[in-house]
């Protein structure tokens, strides 16, 4: 068990949007049953710990007033932390396509990985990685539609085929 005050979120967390209704349901579950699955953290070296996996559980535990929570501590470098955070979310399949694309891009930009290397490490197909990354070519307004579920991954990909960039924004 770790004190909640010694745990901080990971700035590189793939999930950027935390749905209020889902977080509220998790809070109710934690209030009733406690935290059933430990979060994964890594030590920062200053007595604090950074979340690798489980930020929703941590947020919910904080919200219901828990002072400590179960945590598995792993010594991980930045690259492994980014990979584990992404894998944990991909296994649940609940990142939106833009969050996936941004996480793939981060692995490529910050750790010098190729599309194929990302695919191999995450158990994905290379074309899926490349197709997600192409979504980042869309304008911010269109990306917001994808984030909010108002535009599907498939429909967003169709917009990429438009020759006129202005039509994609």
pLDDT one-digit tens code per residue, 102-150: 989 988 998 899 999 998 888 889 999 999 999 999 999 999 999 988 9
Structural domain includes residue 38: yes
What is the rounded CA–CA span in Å between residue 35 and residue 33?
7
> 12 and 44 share a domain?
yes
Based on the structure, what is the number of domains in the chain?
Answer: 2
- Residue 71 pairs with which residues in a beta bridge? 39
Contact 1, 68 (CB under 8 A): yes
Tell me if residue 8 is catalytic: no
Structural domain includes residue 79: no
Select which of 19, 32, 50, 55 is catalytic.
55
Q: Which domain holds residue 137?
A: 96-168
Q: Identify the pLDDT of residue 71.
A: 96
pLDDT at 46 over 80: yes
pTM over 0.85: no
CATH code assigned at 129: 1.10.10.2830
Contact 77, 83 (CB under 8 A): no
More confident residue, 92 or 156: 156
pLDDT at 74 over 90: yes
What is the rounded CA–CA span in Å between residue 76 and residue 41?
9
CATH code assigned at 12: 3.90.1530.30
Structural domain includes residue 149: yes
> 9 and 47 share a domain?
yes
pLDDT at 12 over 80: no
> 38 and 101 share a domain?
no
What is the rounded CA–CA span in Å between residue 116 and residue 130?
9
What is the rounded CA–CA span in Å between residue 71 and residue 8?
12
Structural domain includes residue 15: yes
- Residue 69 pairs with which residues in a beta bridge? 2
pLDDT at 168 over 60: no
When pLDDT is cut at 50, 70 and 90, the band that residue 169 belongs to is: low
Structural domain includes residue 22: yes
pLDDT at 155 over 90: yes
When pLDDT is cut at 50, 70 and 90, the band that residue 51 belongs to is: very high
């Amino acid at each position: 068990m770790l004190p909640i005050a010694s745990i901080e979120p990971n700035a590189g967390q793939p999930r950027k949007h935390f749905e209020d209704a889902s977080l509220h349901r998790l809070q109710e579950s934690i209030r009733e049953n406690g935290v059933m699955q430990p979060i994964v953290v890594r030590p920062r070296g200053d007595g604090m710990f950074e979340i690798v996996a489980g930020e929703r559980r941590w947020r919910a535990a904080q919200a219901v007033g828990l002072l400590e929570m179960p945590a598995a501590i792993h010594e991980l470098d930045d690259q492994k932390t980014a990979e584990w955070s992404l894998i944990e979310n991909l296994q649940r399949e609940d990142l939106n396509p833009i969050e996936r694309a941004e996480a793939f891009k981060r692995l490529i930009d910050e750790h010098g990985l190729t599309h194929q290397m990302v695919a191999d490490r995450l158990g994905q197909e290379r074309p899926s990685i490349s197709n997600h990354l192409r979504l980042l070519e869309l304008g911010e307004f269109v990306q917001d539609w994808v984030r909010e579920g108002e535009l599907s991954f498939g429909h967003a990909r169709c917009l990429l085929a438009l020759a006129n960039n202005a039509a994609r924004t």
